[in-house]
Structures are given as structure tokens and as C-alpha cells.
Structure 1
Amino acid sequence: MSSAFQLNDSRLSLRWAKPEDVPLIHSMIKGLADYEQRPHDMIARPENLHECLFGESPLAETILAFYQDQAAGFALFQTLYSTFLGKRYLYLEDIFILPRFRGKGIGKHLFTSLATVCLSRGYAGLEWSVLDWNDPAIGFYKALGATKASGHLYYALTGNALRRLSNKAS
């Protein structure tokens, strides 16, 4: 796997994250939590992130974006399996561009690199979720050619609800 992605913009570079990038990635995840108005939900620590990305059994991968050699954003994703398609696909957990770097094509380049990763690995596609109030992101995704997955609603079971359900099984 190459450490960098080929781009046609000399101001921008993308590369795979390395273990020493964990503090940078962690700080950008904090920025994302703030943007999504959920700083209280950001409890992950750099150690958790390091284990997830670079531990014995990595669970996710990250591509970092730099604009004029300054950290500008990231995409963190994992591989999932579709029983209907019988193939793997990429699930984009998070993509974030620091506010001062938005509008410079960085998000498009990150998505282009993700599409390239999908195709090079023979995966079925790329999926992600977006907050329903995030109109700028939704417009950006539509401009890329993405379509809303029909018939699906996103649900989560965490915290006290998860514990209550687990206790019912005992």
C-alpha cells in the first residue's frame, strides 16, 4: 500500500495515517464533535484511537489531508460486509475538514481516494451517514453523485439503554 495518494493539486497532499498521527487525528475528532454539537459525546482517548487504528487487530483506517503542508482534515473508515451483495464495502465513519480549509477541494479529494481504495480492493461501494441538519454536507454529497439510501433509518443502542437491555437477558 502506497503511503501517499497521487493528486493534481500541488497545494494538497493525502496520505495514510501513521501511529505518530494519533494526537492529530484525536484533535480533529474533537473538532468534529464540536461541529456536530456533541462535545459531551467525545470521550475517546488517544490510547483508544491508537489501539483501533494501529493495534494488534486494527479496526479502522485513516487518510489524512494536508493543505500547503498544514493538517487540514481526515477520513476514518472501516470495512464492513453486505450479506445482500456478498461483498465487502467501506463504511465512512467520519470525514472532517477544518473550517479554515473548507471550499478548497479537500473533501472531494478525500472521497476520490476512498473511491479508489474501494475499487482497488474489489469492494461493492462506500456508505456513510450524515446528520439531517447538515445541509452543506448533504449538498456536497449530492454534488459528488451520492444518493440517499432508501428505506433505511439509522438507530443506535448505547449507554444506559444498552445496559438495560443487557440486564434483561440475565
Structure 2
Amino acid sequence: MADVSVREAREDDCEEITRLMQEFAKHEGNLHLVKTNIHTVKRDGFGEQKVFDCFVAEETLTTGKPRLVGYLLYMWSFTTMSGRFLFVEDLFVEENFRRKGVGSLLWAKAMKLALSWGCEYMQWMAKRRNTMGINFYKKFDAVETNTDSVMTFTLDNDAMKTACSKIVSE
């Protein structure tokens, strides 16, 4: 196991969290889509109207200076079927620290938190091509919940503006 500790993120971690988010996006081939920057991380994770929380994995020995090597970004959500649940947006570990227990430490921290808050489940998404991630989740007995009757939709910023203007003008 790598020599890391997992803790709640602090505002002074924002620059490193942003760096890790960009590494994650690059890893997934989506770096060109990233609009999040240090200012949005500070506002949305540590501001007055924060919308996410985060755990970070901090390397504690090999360089002599603590450095973030992974993160798990989550938020609370709710469903009428079972109440509160924990939604994991990102789980990312730097390549040199993968398969060394870092992801498991982050995941365990999230599972313990969800259980302590009385959640019936955790939820997240994974790209089908992310076989390493899918295998990681399955080792914890995660169940794929895609069904033919449920689809995921997205409205981007421009689509929301267009839709609002149509509704207002009607």
C-alpha cells in the first residue's frame, strides 16, 4: 500500500484539486471540455453556497513534502424512493499511485460517510471503456443499474438559455 493519508479537502487544496481534475480529464480524453478552474473549485467546494465536498489522498513520505495524489469528489442527493444518497462525481488517483490501495482508501472514506448519514446507497457513473475502474467498483460488489427504461439527459448552458427564452416568450 502506498504511504498516503486520506482527509477532507481544505480550501488551501484548491489548486492541487484543480490540477488533479485536469489530470483526470486528460486521462479520459476530455481535457478540452474542462471549464472548471481554481475559482470555481473554491466557490463550489468551499464558498457560501457550496455544492460539493471532497476527500483527498495526500502522499506523506516519498518526497518529504506532502502532495495530493488523488481525490474523491461527492455530493448529497435525494430520491423519493429511498431518501438521501451519496453521489460520487469523481474518483481519481495519479497513475504512479494506482493499484497501491489509494483508491480503496478514498472509496472506504466515502462508504463510511454514506453509512454514517443513513444512506441506502451510493451512486456514480463510469465510462464503459474504463475497465480498470469498473473492475475496481465490482470488487466492492457494485451493481450496474442501467436499464432500458432509464436514460440520462443533459442540457448545456446554451440549450437552457434557448429553452428558457422559448418558455418565457410563449
TM-score bracket, shorter-length normalisation = 0.7 to 0.9
TM-score when normalising by structure 1: 0.88
CA–CA distance in structure 1, aligned partners of residues 15 and 105 of structure 2: 23
Mapping of 1:76-115 within 5 angstroms? 76-85=73-82, 87-115=83-111
Aligned residue in 2 for 1:145 = 141
Q: 2:38 is matched with which residue: 29, 46, 55? A: 46
Q: Is 1:160 paired with 2:158?
A: yes
Aligned residue in 2 for 1:18 = 10
Q: Structure 2: where are the runs of 5+ without partners?
A: none
CA–CA distance in structure 1, aligned partners of residues 141 and 103 of structure 2: 14
Shift of 1:10: 7.7
Q: 1:73 is matched with which residue: 70, 75, 86? A: 70
Q: Is 1:28 paired with 2:20?
A: yes
Shift of 1:166: 2.4
Q: Which moved more, 1:51-60 or 1:96-105?
A: 51-60
SS at match of 1:27: helix
Q: Structure 1: where are the runs of 5+ without partners?
A: 1-8
Q: After TM superposition, what 4+ stretches of structure 1 lie above 4 angstroms from structure 2?
A: none
TM-score when normalising by structure 2: 0.88
Q: Percent same amino acid among aligned pairs?
A: 24
